[in-house]
Structure 1
Amino acid sequence: MDFLPVATSIFTLFILIGVGFLAFRMGYITRSGASGLSSLLVNVAIPCLILESMQVPLSSGLVYSMEVIALIEVVVYLVSFISAIVIPWCLTGSVFETGVLRFMLIFSNLGFMGYPVAYAMFGEESVFYVTLINLPFGFLVFTLGVFLLRPDLARNPDLKRILTPGLIASVLGLCLLGTGTTIPSPLNESVSLLGSITTPLAMIVIGTFLAPLPFFSMVSDIRVWIISAARLILIPVIVFLITSPFVTDPLLLGIPVLLAAMPVAANTVLLSEEYGVNAELASKGVFISTLLSLVTIPLIGIYLLP
């Protein structure tokens, strides 16, 4: 993959992050406003993007592609789980801090950054595969993720938190895919327009999220740098080395590897706050990994992806 197109795509997205950052710092977007934009993105824009992307004819070639993606994702999660067991064990911290570190290694920013970055690098066709990869994400976050953060609360998972609009849209999208049904006009046009705001809105929301974080306190924890390096480089490189000998299609190989290289999931902070664990540590992980991804994502695209 050539450097210039990759770098241009990524820097374009980070300019939008800068817009969100400045808008928050200048008072154009408040904390409550940023929360509202995030809710709109997660509960409306991304579900609409999912529904639109799943309206494709089901063919034998597409079924094969789905099977390949599923197998690669098994590898991604196995590598992530093993990393989450080994790496935090070597670092100091309380039980709850270790849980936050493990959460950061397993769950990447598939929703906010996955869709726009994959779209920028691979085009519209990538949205369908990103949706497939996102299918188990919500379920795992609110089951395994809660267990990592608070083992004492994980015995009674909240089904309301699992049945998110994104998960519901994914299931509906699979029904549309399996039956060959398309959303009728003009509803389809509305869904398409709402889905199209995902990329700029996601980047602006990330910028507003990073804006209030104190910079110097964010960069002083060595554990966060180690976790970020593993999240952004180690995991995708291992996944690539395992899967590349068996997968020749650049799209089927590139998208899972790219998503494995995403920074720490933004909801790490939200869940850490909600479950009363170290939200500051989670904020550091999101901050550092997101900033470093400005460099690491283009490098992954250039050196690993065809």
Structure 2
Amino acid sequence: MNFLTIIDSIVILFILMGVGYASYKSGIITRDGAHGLSSFLVNITLPSLIIVSMQIPLSSETFGRTMEMFAIAIIYYILSFAFAFTVPKYLTESDLEKGVYSFMLVFSNLGFMGIPVTAAIFGNGAVFYTSLVMLPFGILAFSVGILMLRPDMGRYFDPKLFLNSGIIASITGLIFFFTGFHIPAPFIDVLEILGSLTTPLAMVVTGSLLATMPASSMFKDFRIYAMTLFRLVIIPAVLYLILNPFVSDRLLLGIIVILAGMPVAANAVLLAEEYNVDSTAASKGVFISTLLCIFTIPLTAYFLL
């Protein structure tokens, strides 16, 4: 296990958050500017990243393992949703706050951290299977995830809710994946460039939103620590206990358990900001869970290996 790779990924995220924090404090980024960046990320760069992440070659040699990984990923998401619909009830009485905590319990930082961390622990062969777990991410985040953040939207159901850029990108990406269609240059190059902006800009936005609150408040919200405990420790532990008797392939089992213990996705901040819910709670969730995963991920990897 390359411990330095894990630390490197986490340090990069904190430096980017620091850039956003300093930019807001110095007036380079305003509150309106942060909201504008969030909209750009949600509607342009994140959909680009979703499509690019689904450009995975599917061969007959890997088909069996691919289907097994899909089945394992489904169990992971079902378990995460089960926690997401129960745990927040004990953390807050506000429906909008419950939605933010629910979103943070389901959606983790699979992209920027998941790929380098699983590669560092299990080798480069883990990258393909990590990407498979990411496939449902876009559709779930831009459908169920939005209804989590804004449950009031579900009470007055509007089909247009699901005609957003994230859903369109996810469906397009899945079609390309199952048909084996590869986007030609220069279009794939443009999508890769736009997609690569998502994580750095998302962390900058997170840092700028953290700058809007007193520094001490980042560490005083016990609800964030409770959510983080589930996000980093309890969900991966329960998932391991469920899957261990049935999954004989230790590589696939190890990958999904490590991914289940990733910190909160920066997308939580972007979508909370886009849909006018508590983006400060999401920012704190990203900050605290990313900080603490420096201890929990190596411990989880040590247990698995």
Interval of TM-score (by shorter of Structure 1 and Structure 2): 0.7 to 0.9
SS of the equivalent of 1:73 reads: helix
Instruction: Give the Cα separation in 2 of the matches to 1:209 and 1:276.
Output: 13
Q: Structure 1: give runs of 5+ residues left out of the alignment.
A: none
Instruction: Give the Cα separation in 2 of the matches to 1:48 and 1:275.
Output: 20
Deviations 1:169-197 (A, max 9, x none): 22112222222222222222222222233
State the match for 2:145 in structure 1: 141
Quick check: 1:104–1:285 contact (8 Å CA) kept in 2? Answer: no
Structure 1 residues 216-231: aligned runs within 5 Å = 216-231=216-231
Paired residue total: 296
Quick check: 1:85–1:102 contact (8 Å CA) kept in 2? Answer: no
1:270–1:128 Cα change, 3 Å: closer
Q: Which amino acid aligns with 1:129?
A: L
Instruction: Give the Cα separation in 1 of the matches to 2:95 and 2:181.
Output: 46
State the match for 1:118 in structure 2: 114
Instruction: Give the Cα separation in 1 of the matches to 2:46 and 2:100.
Output: 27
Instruction: Give the Cα separation in 1 of the matches to 2:193 and 2:96.
Output: 41
Quick check: 2:35–2:273 contact (8 Å CA) kept in 1? Answer: no
Deviations 1:265-295 (A, max 9, x none): 5565677788887776556545533443344
Q: Which amino acid aligns with 2:213?
A: L
- TM superposition shift of 1:255: 4.5
- TM-score, with length taken from structure 2: 0.78
State the match for 1:180 in structure 2: 180
Instruction: Give the Cα separation in 1 of the matches to 2:275 and 2:58.
Output: 41
Instruction: Give the Cα separation in 2 of the matches to 1:92 and 1:52.
Output: 36
1:93–1:17 Cα change, 3 Å: closer
State the match for 1:83 in structure 2: 83
Structure 1 window deviating more from structure 2 (98-107 vs 266-275): it is: 266-275
- TM superposition shift of 1:117: 0.8
State the match for 2:131 in structure 1: 128
Structure 1 residues 144-183: aligned runs within 5 Å = 145=148, 150=151, 153-183=153-183
Identity %: 41
Q: Which amino acid aligns with 2:111?
A: Y
Quick check: 1:100–1:278 contact (8 Å CA) kept in 2? Answer: no
Structure 1 window deviating more from structure 2 (231-240 vs 5-14): it is: 5-14
Quick check: 2:107–2:264 contact (8 Å CA) kept in 1? Answer: yes
Deviations 1:127-185 (A, max 9, x none): 73253130333221134x15xx64x6523334333233222122112222222222222
Q: Which amino acid aligns with 1:248?
A: D
1:74–1:56 Cα change, 3 Å: closer
1:207–1:225 Cα change, 3 Å: same
Quick check: 1:236–1:261 contact (8 Å CA) kept in 2? Answer: yes
Q: Structure 2: give runs of 5+ residues left out of the alignment.
A: none
Deviations 1:238-265 (A, max 9, x none): 2133324515253x44553344223345
**Is structure 2 residue 34 aligned with structure 1 residue 30?**
no
**Is structure 2 residue 111 aligned with structure 1 residue 108?**
no
Instruction: Give the Cα separation in 1 of the matches to 2:93 and 2:11.
Output: 37
